[in-house]
Amino acid sequence: MPVKKTFFLIALIIFTFSTLSAQDLKAYQIFDKNGQPVNFLSMADVAASADIVLFGELHNNPISHWLQLELTLALHDRKAENLVMGMEMFEADDQLIIDEYFSGLIAERNFRSEARLWNNYNTDIRPLLEFARENELTFIASNIPRRYAALVNREGFEGLERLSPEALRFVAPLPVAYDPDLPGYKAMLEMTGMPAHANENFPKAQAIKDATMAYFIMKNFNSGNLFIHFHGTYHSNNYEGIVWYLHQMNPDLQMITISTVEQDQVDSLNEEYLNQADFIITVPATMTKTY
């Protein structure tokens, strides 16, 4: 066999194996709640038919953040100006700063210096916020100010009763409904390695975040719009957290939940994650982190 032909065949074999190997390294797979694989466009089509989409992320997972942006783009194509965005990563008293930045009243440098930005803002959060700003979409800071969540962790819901009327504008209306028997809240008291500051009020501090996020979602939701909300996956897993509070306010809402999990392999959904959400995104456990 001529040398050139032999070299070509060897190169072709190497390229083929390299390509197959690269194809085997899947970055993610989406499943429905029953563990059946679905593609991104199918998830986007279902999400577009909802009133509210609750996208649970792993905060330091780049695949979560990339798919959040891609889903936002897909929903904007379908809903245009009827798309509303919100996220846990901004606290309710940041809303004025966001609105001033979006209106052009303040510069980005002022926004960045005065808003309480997470340490992964540049890589993971800014693309979503800037998409909303550039497309003139409503963007909602939905989370309770962390100082008030800390107050609940110290004193229970009773601590909120000492807040001024001005402060209470950034909190779900009192009294706050609370079901301590929800599995997610019960599990928080059984967690190993709980934070040193955690006590019997620890799940209540989680609940006041869930209740406040649900409150600001509903406050800014109008029929005909689609509200997509981004948060840590624990806030909506198993249709609890934000989902439970939204159902208390309006049981007729059409909601779609999305969860993100890490697995050793992504080709099938681990049994423990079945029914965790309407759509579950599996990501390799070896995926790099954003922080």
Query: Over the stretch 6-65, which tens digit does the pLDDT of each residue have?
Result: 444 444 444 444 444 455 789 999 999 999 999 999 999 999 999 999 999 999 999 999
In a domain, 1, yes or no: no
What's the whole-number mean pLDDT along residues 241-266?
97
Residue 18 forms part of a structural domain? no
Residues 47 and 278: their CA atoms lie apart, in Å, by 10
Domain of 206, in residue numbers: 28-284
In the predicted model, is pLDDT for residue 180 greater than 70? yes
Look at strands 29-32 and 279-284 and give their pairing: antiparallel
- 17 in any annotated domain: no
Determine, yes or no, domain membership for 247: yes
Phi-psi region of 172 (alpha: psi -120 to 50; beta: other; left: phi over 0): beta
- β partners of residue 182: none
- Rounded Cα distance between 287 and 285, Å, is 6
Question: Do the domain assignments include residue 12?
Answer: no
Q: Supply the CATH number for residue 65's domain.
A: 3.40.50.11550
Give a yes or no: residue 7 inside a domain: no
For all residues of the chain together, what is the average pLDDT?
Answer: 92
Q: What 3-state DSSP class applies to 247?
A: helix
Q: How many domains does the chain have?
A: 1
**37 within a domain of the structure (yes/no):** yes
State mean pLDDT over 180-204. 83
Q: Is residue 156 part of a domain?
A: yes
pLDDT tens digits, one per residue of 105-161: 999 999 999 999 999 999 999 999 999 999 999 999 999 999 999 999 999 999 999
